[in-house]
Amino acid sequence: MFCSQCGNDVGDGAHFCCACGSRLSPAIAAAGQIEPTDSPTVDQIIDRVRAAMDSGDLFSHRAFTSVVAMLHGSGLQTTTREWCTLVDFAGDQFSRWHVRWLFSPASAPDVPAEEEQRRWRILFDSAVTALASDMPQAARDCREVCNLRAMKYILQARQHYNDGRPMRELESAATSYIAHRLNAVGFRRSAERAMNRSLFPSGTVGASQ
């Protein structure tokens, strides 16, 4: 599991991050790995996945592969709704890691976050593809939710960056307004650049995209 403050890989059951000293959330400290032990039922596995997602913390992509391997290796059958929970978790983790990478300095990108978001994206796409074979509309909904969630986390990260800095907040709001006006008159590429500037601080990976 990972510290939600600095992204450091911490040991299972740890209560504090050894890198930044932050206290880990009780849910994560208690959960450790996502998958339960001692031959769990599908309900137990899904409950742990939901608890992990509700915690808002970052997990390695290996957590997802271990859950899927446990389900298949044990011959456990999942309902479409249960599989949607796994897809949702993969999309949530991709979004969180992606935003962490986008807000890292362009001069020193967060390499672990970049790798995790890439791996989570592959897992999410694979899970959605599997879902689409039986429920194409549910698969489309999962992709839409993932996109909306990523934008939500970007806005939250930008708001956190602007906290206590009124000039940055004003600049971000003004640039966003300009982006909407440019888009309204048909200057889409200029609008995209302006919106990108309003979302990502100068010098970050996101600003350089």
Return the pLDDT at 31: 38
* Contact criterion met (CB below 8 Å) for 27 and 55: yes
In this predicted structure, what is the pLDDT of residue 16?
60
Does residue 192 share a domain with residue 93? no
pLDDT of 3 reads 60
* One domain for residues 94 and 129: yes
Quote the number of domains for the chain: 2
Q: In terms of residue numbers, what domain contains 179?
A: 166-209
Do residue 178 and residue 154 come from a single domain?
no
Are 172 and 189 part of one and the same domain?
Answer: yes
- Show pLDDT as tens, one digit a residue, over the chain (209 residues): 556 555 556 665 555 665 555 555 544 443 335 555 566 778 888 888 888 888 888 888 888 888 888 777 667 677 888 888 999 999 999 999 999 999 999 999 999 899 999 999 999 999 999 888 888 898 899 999 999 999 899 888 888 888 877 776 777 767 766 767 766 778 777 777 777 778 888 899 998 87
Cα 76 to Cα 68: distance, rounded to the nearest angstrom: 10
Query: What confidence score (pLDDT) does residue 2 get?
Result: 57
- With 0-12 CB in 10 A as exposed, 13-18 as middle and 19+ as buried, what is 52? buried
Do 190 and 145 lie in a common domain? no
What's residue 162's pLDDT?
81
Quick one: CA dihedral 149, 131, 32, 121, positive or negative? Answer: negative
In a domain, 18, yes or no: no
Integer Cα distance of 149 and 92 in angstroms: 7
200: in domain: yes
> Is there a single domain that holds both residue 170 and residue 159?
no
pTM of the model: 0.76
Q: C-alpha distances in angstroms, 143 versus 3, 137, 147?
A: 27, 10, 6
**Same domain? 206 vs 114:** no
Phi, psi of 15 (to 5 degrees): -105, -20
Domain membership of residue 202 (yes or no) is: yes
